[in-house]
Amino acid sequence: MQINYGLISVDDHVQEPPSLWTDRLSKSRWGDRIPHLERTAEGCERWVVDGQVLVDGHSGRTGALMADRNREPNRWDEVPPPAYLPSERLKTMDAAGMDYSVLYPTVAGLAGEAFGRLEDPELELACVQAYNDWLIEEWSSASERFIPQCIVPIWPAEATVAEIQRAVAKGHRGVVFPSLPMNLRAVPHVSGPEYDPVWAICEELNVPVCLHAGASPELQYTPYSGLAPALTEALDAVTKPVSTVFVISLFTFSRVLLRHPRLRVILAESALSWGMLYMEWADHQFEHDGLASEGYELKPSEMFHRQCCFTSWFDEVAPFVQHVGAEHILWSTNFPLTTSTWPRTQETIHQCFRGVSAETREKVLWKNAARLYQL
């Protein structure tokens, strides 16, 4: 590992190219159910898998790289190269002052959720494996500064476990798990023991489980339909991080964290400033409802402090660091989404870390991530 700039961004997104799945899935077997770009009557190009439109009908999500940040590309030739070319991405990382970048998908869902909505588990697995193979072949092999994370088929658990084993053997460093699989299709509740093999394999292989905000849009307040697109998108961006509260609540009170004490959970795109209240409230409620007598050996905040991290990109750190703990905050740039701090990444960091000690700053900006991803 080499740190030149002092930043490991733990949440960035790759843009999958048009040929990713068509090159890797059998045309004779899957036909046009394969994820591909489809041209619409209006001349736009949108991603489609098995008849489902992805990426809200856009060709990509690259707002931070667009001349007008409130626009997304609607044809592939509008997608800026740093979104999909590793060599161009590295240049942007240098310009942003970023040493390493932990990668999440875009077409496969910002939280790796898109293929979980497919009703056909075989097609789901084929799409997932193609993405996982491609990320290693095209990005990891281009530079060790890219930290690849696999996506997974959500069910059955044996398939999830097998894909995690296969992907980690290939070089994946984290597991992107859509946090509420039962909201994607008819599968068991994520709190149940049915998923224990999934958490167990992550413990065994020592890879973090990454629960990225936005896996289930119904957890967010739907904006008024009469708003301009820029305002609708802003509302989506603001309500997405806090939807994580429902996820951390499930993982805490259902005892997933207690059953799997070595499971490490990264709450990607969670933001930071609401988290302190959640932790204080969960502890308060735990005590007020008398849950100590119901078989929990740790309070919610103790579970969090043993196993979880919040991920921020715009919050002021100083007010929250003492209660949340410097070891439990990670930093990201969210590149190349509109909410990204690019191109003001360093300026934003400067503002967000006012009044923070050098030691804490190093932990949040790169040391915690280096430890979690074993760099």
Enter the tokens of residue 149: 């994370």
Distance of closest approach, residue 234 Cβ to another protein, in angstroms? 4
Phi, psi of 134 (to 5 degrees): -60, -40
C-alpha neighbours within 13 Å on the C-beta side of residue 98: 31
Between CA 194 and CA 188 the distance in angstroms is 7
Neighbours of 80 (CB within 10 A): 18
Neighbours of 196 (CB within 10 A): 13
Distance of closest approach, residue 130 Cβ to another protein, in angstroms? 30
Enter the tokens of residue 140: 């990891």
Distance of closest approach, residue 356 Cβ to another protein, in angstroms? 15
C-beta closer to another protein: residue 150 or 257: 257
C-beta closer to another protein: residue 162 or 276: 276
DSSP state of 219: G
Between CA 282 and CA 265 the distance in angstroms is 17
Enter the tokens of residue 258: 């207690």
Distance of closest approach, residue 197 Cβ to another protein, in angstroms? 17
Between CA 216 and CA 127 the distance in angstroms is 20
Q: 3-class SS at 314?
A: coil
C-beta closer to another protein: residue 5 or 281: 281
C-beta closer to another protein: residue 122 or 294: 294
C-beta closer to another protein: residue 49 or 321: 321
Distance of closest approach, residue 352 Cβ to another protein, in angstroms? 9
Distance of closest approach, residue 332 Cβ to another protein, in angstroms? 13
Between CA 291 and CA 312 the distance in angstroms is 30
C-beta closer to another protein: residue 144 or 289: 289
Residues that bind another protein (CB under 8 A): 69-70, 180, 182-183, 189, 191-192, 216, 218-228, 230-231, 233-235, 237-239, 241-243, 245-246, 249-250, 252-254, 271, 273-278, 280-282, 284-286, 288-291, 294, 300, 314-316, 319-320, 323, 338-341
